A and B are shown apart, each in its own frame.
Chain A
Amino acid sequence: MATKERWGTRLGLVLAMAGNAVGLGNFLRFPAQAAKNGGGAFMIPYIVALIVMGLPLMWVEWTLGRYGGQFGHHSAPGILQSTARGRGWKYFGVFGIWANLIIAAFYVYIESWCLAYAGFSAIGGFRDTPAKEFYNNLIGASENNIFSISIWGMGVFAVCIVLNVFILSRGLARGIETVAKIGMPILILFAAILAVRGLMSQVGDEGVVESPFVGLNFVWEPKLDSLANPAVWLAAAGQIFFTLSIGIGSIHCYSSYLRAKDDIALTGATTAWTNEFCEVVLGGTVLIPIAVAYLGLSHVADPETSGFALGFLSFPTLFQKWGWLAAPAGFLWFGLLFVAAITSSLAMGQPIMAFLQDEYGFDRKRSALAFGGMLLLLAVPVAIFEQKSFFDEFDFWGGTFALVVFAFGESILFGWVFGMDKAWAEMNRGAELKIPSIFYYFIKYLTPVFLFFILAGSIFQPKAGWDAYSNALFKGEEMPAWEWSGSGVIGKILHKDIEDSSDPQKQAFNEDLKLVRTIDRLVLVGVFLFFSVLVYFAWKRRAAEGRLAT
């Protein structure tokens, strides 16, 4: 059954699409990645990756979505199938609904933390409670325990799930678009206020140990020698992936509600540059400068310090130095993170709802409830087990690896199976912005090659880092022995990120962790198979109803 939903306005669509892209990564991940990978020099591979891979893939996904929408498809299986006209692509398209559910299961959990932190900040709770203590209570953390249960943490999580389901049940224009129209300006305003206030801090103010401009310098000082390091290029490409929400299936879904002659070139570019504004200009000016001002450069420069830890464990305490502004600042910071998160999580629900509506005739409310039910099933283990198990595994397999696999597949589909000439004509139909013809060659050749290297780089990852091998080849340094890194696909499969411990309690925990991880990988495979079966029966049903042309 085809849905008749439509976007209300172009601006609403742009803000909803930008809301999908602007997420926690813009404010927590980007500044930490930039600082860790060469400062200003990181921006060179970052911008190269944006132009060679990010923008082309974004236009590819917009085009695929709009094209599939003409056949009444609003989720990746149908969109890819109608593009390729081949039997197997609908199953590859399962990635485009599976990944959304897997990501939503842990992403909405983080969203609930933002909500809890925002509320606690607003009532001035961090005056007396250290952020670390609040965080541990929120997630129910206890050392060497495979379970991590917090009743009130799960309560806030449930509130967020209900909120997502409620907004989704209101539909595209009245739900998602309305939230984006309200949320995006608020997010930009909150970030701008924090950035300006943070940069106004001076040595001599209470608690300020360094100028925030030292932090800004740390983010932007170009360390050009880092350009020779392949790991920096991989990190930049990875960041572009996360920030534009490529390879998930949500862009396809949103653009599938456009008409055949609606512009996608200008609309797509506008969402991408809005996201870049939120990431590069706002995201790069809040977290690191404020953290450096109050914690010092040496603390922030520590490679072990992540943007996530700074944002959740350090910021609430730092804000207490801002006097009467402490509570509002905490609310602004976690409020903006919450808005960034919810506009993204809504985009994860819509493709699953669209699939159920298109293929099984669900109405909007029923499909929203079905999404909520599926989300709840996966959310429970995320919330009750220690973060290194379900939470991290969902993040890695659904939120990292699957995106690259899906994007690589769709780039081949678009440029080579659909045919680049046809694809280019489809992309430029109704365009209000002339896409430079160089992108024709980028999409056909460069983007798949770039993605291939990212995919290979994420599968085969050495513990010593690629830079060690690059130095051995080009600088004559000693060649390190090969060992799999725990952050690569093969290393993950082999549990290389869990190190044996001489402490019996810790070792027992490690064994429990390996067992739970094996279970959650089975869950991941099971969910994928579940959607594949739904796709199989949906197409049988289409065939029986005579809704297949081939």
Chain B
Amino acid sequence: MNHMTLSAWVFMLTVWAIVIGCAAYCFYKLLTSERQLDDDDNEDDTASRTAG
């Protein structure tokens, strides 16, 4: 453990905190969301429009 400098620890833990924090926040929001992919079957489906 003492083979790492203080600056290396600070950099590593800061970046880890940002990455894990963002991932955890996103997963929390996603998993607690009540919306699912198939909520609204009445909206435009594939091939319902035509375009170039």
Q: Determine if B31 and A11 form an interchain contact, defined as CB atoms under 8 angstroms apart.
A: yes
Stretch at the interface among A257-265, A308-316, A395-403, A480-488: A257-265
Q: Determine if B23 and A70 form an interchain contact, defined as CB atoms under 8 angstroms apart.
A: no
Nearest CB of A to B17, in Å: 10
Nearest CB of B to A185, in Å: 13
Stretch at the interface among A210-218, A334-342, A468-476: A210-218
Q: Determine if A220 and B52 form an interchain contact, defined as CB atoms under 8 angstroms apart.
A: no
Nearest CB of B to A383, in Å: 37
- A376 sits at the interface (CB 8 A): no
Q: In chain A, what residue has the closest Cβ to B24?
A: A273
State the CA gap A350–B32 with chains docked (Å): 30
The one of A86, A211, A267 in contact with B30, judged by C-beta atoms closer than 8 angstroms, is: A267
State the CA gap A74–B51 with chains docked (Å): 13
Q: Determine if B30 and A259 form an interchain contact, defined as CB atoms under 8 angstroms apart.
A: no
Interface residues on B, range: 35 or more
Q: Type the 1/0 row for A221-245, where 1 means its CB is closer than 8 Å to any CB of B.
A: 1100000000000000000000000
Q: Determine if A273 and B26 form an interchain contact, defined as CB atoms under 8 angstroms apart.
A: yes
- A533 sits at the interface (CB 8 A): no
Q: Determine if B8 and A81 form an interchain contact, defined as CB atoms under 8 angstroms apart.
A: no
State the CA gap A548–B15 with chains docked (Å): 49
State the CA gap A222–B52 with chains docked (Å): 51
Q: Determine if B40 and A261 form an interchain contact, defined as CB atoms under 8 angstroms apart.
A: yes
Q: In chain B, what residue has the closest Cβ to A82?
A: B51
| A276 neighbours in B (Cβ, 8 Å) | 19, 22-23
Q: Determine if B43 and A261 form an interchain contact, defined as CB atoms under 8 angstroms apart.
A: yes
Q: In chain B, what residue has the closest Cβ to A2?
A: B47
Nearest CB of B to A233, in Å: 17
Q: Determine if A70 and B33 form an interchain contact, defined as CB atoms under 8 angstroms apart.
A: no
Q: Determine if B33 and A266 form an interchain contact, defined as CB atoms under 8 angstroms apart.
A: yes
Q: Determine if B7 and A222 form an interchain contact, defined as CB atoms under 8 angstroms apart.
A: yes
Q: Determine if B27 and A43 form an interchain contact, defined as CB atoms under 8 angstroms apart.
A: no
Q: In chain A, what residue has the closest Cβ to B16?
A: A281
Query: Which chain A residues (53-86) contact chain B, with CB distance < 8 Å?
Result: 69-72, 74, 81-82, 85-86
Nearest CB of B to A541, in Å: 13
Nearest CB of B to A281, in Å: 6
Q: Type the 1/0 row for A87-115, where 1 means its CB is closer than 8 Å to any CB of B.
A: 10010000000000000000000000000
State the CA gap A68–B5 with chains docked (Å): 50
The one of B11, B36, B46 in contact with A43, judged by C-beta atoms closer than 8 angstroms, is: B11
Given A69-B46, A260-B44, does the pair A85, B33 have CB atoms closer than 8 Å? no
Nearest CB of A to B8, in Å: 4
- A4 sits at the interface (CB 8 A): yes
| A550 neighbours in B (Cβ, 8 Å) | 51-52
Q: Determine if B5 and A548 form an interchain contact, defined as CB atoms under 8 angstroms apart.
A: no
Q: Type the 1/0 row for A1-40, where 1 means its CB is closer than 8 Å to any CB of B.
A: 0111011111101100000000000000000000000011
The one of A6, A216, A273 in contact with B38, judged by C-beta atoms closer than 8 angstroms, is: A6
Q: Determine if A82 and B30 form an interchain contact, defined as CB atoms under 8 angstroms apart.
A: no
- A547 sits at the interface (CB 8 A): yes
Nearest CB of B to A476, in Å: 29
Nearest CB of B to A363, in Å: 16
State the CA gap A214–B2 with chains docked (Å): 9
Nearest CB of A to B42, in Å: 10
Nearest CB of B to A64, in Å: 13
Q: Determine if A280 and B8 form an interchain contact, defined as CB atoms under 8 angstroms apart.
A: no
Q: In chain A, what residue has the closest Cβ to B23?
A: A273
Q: Determine if B37 and A259 form an interchain contact, defined as CB atoms under 8 angstroms apart.
A: yes
Q: Determine if A2 and B23 form an interchain contact, defined as CB atoms under 8 angstroms apart.
A: no
- A387 sits at the interface (CB 8 A): no
Residue with the greatest number of chain B CB neighbours at <10 A, chosen from A47, A214, A222, A270: A270
Q: Determine if A277 and B23 form an interchain contact, defined as CB atoms under 8 angstroms apart.
A: yes
Nearest CB of B to A508, in Å: 49
State the CA gap A523–B44 with chains docked (Å): 40
State the CA gap A222–B4 with chains docked (Å): 11
State the CA gap A276–B26 with chains docked (Å): 13
| B40 neighbours in A (Cβ, 8 Å) | 259, 261
Q: Type the 1/0 row for A539-550, where 1 means its CB is closer than 8 Å to any CB of B.
A: 100100011111
Q: Determine if A216 and B8 form an interchain contact, defined as CB atoms under 8 angstroms apart.
A: yes
| B37 neighbours in A (Cβ, 8 Å) | 6-10, 13, 258-259, 262
Q: Determine if A81 and B52 form an interchain contact, defined as CB atoms under 8 angstroms apart.
A: yes
| A10 neighbours in B (Cβ, 8 Å) | 30, 33, 35-37
| A3 neighbours in B (Cβ, 8 Å) | 46
Q: Determine if A273 and B50 form an interchain contact, defined as CB atoms under 8 angstroms apart.
A: no
Q: Determine if B30 and A85 form an interchain contact, defined as CB atoms under 8 angstroms apart.
A: no
26 A-B contact pairs sorted by A residue (CB < 8 Å): A10-B33, A10-B37, A40-B11, A40-B15, A43-B11, A70-B44, A71-B47, A72-B47, A72-B48, A213-B4, A214-B3, A216-B12, A217-B5, A217-B8, A221-B11, A222-B11, A259-B37, A259-B45, A261-B43, A263-B33, A263-B35, A267-B30, A432-B30, A548-B51, A549-B52, A550-B52
Known: A40-B12, A70-B48. 9 other contacts (CB 8 A): A71-B51, A72-B48, A259-B37, A259-B45, A276-B22, A432-B30, A432-B35, A433-B29, A550-B52
Which 3 A-B residue pairings sit nearest by Cβ, starting from the closest? A2-B47, A72-B47, A40-B11
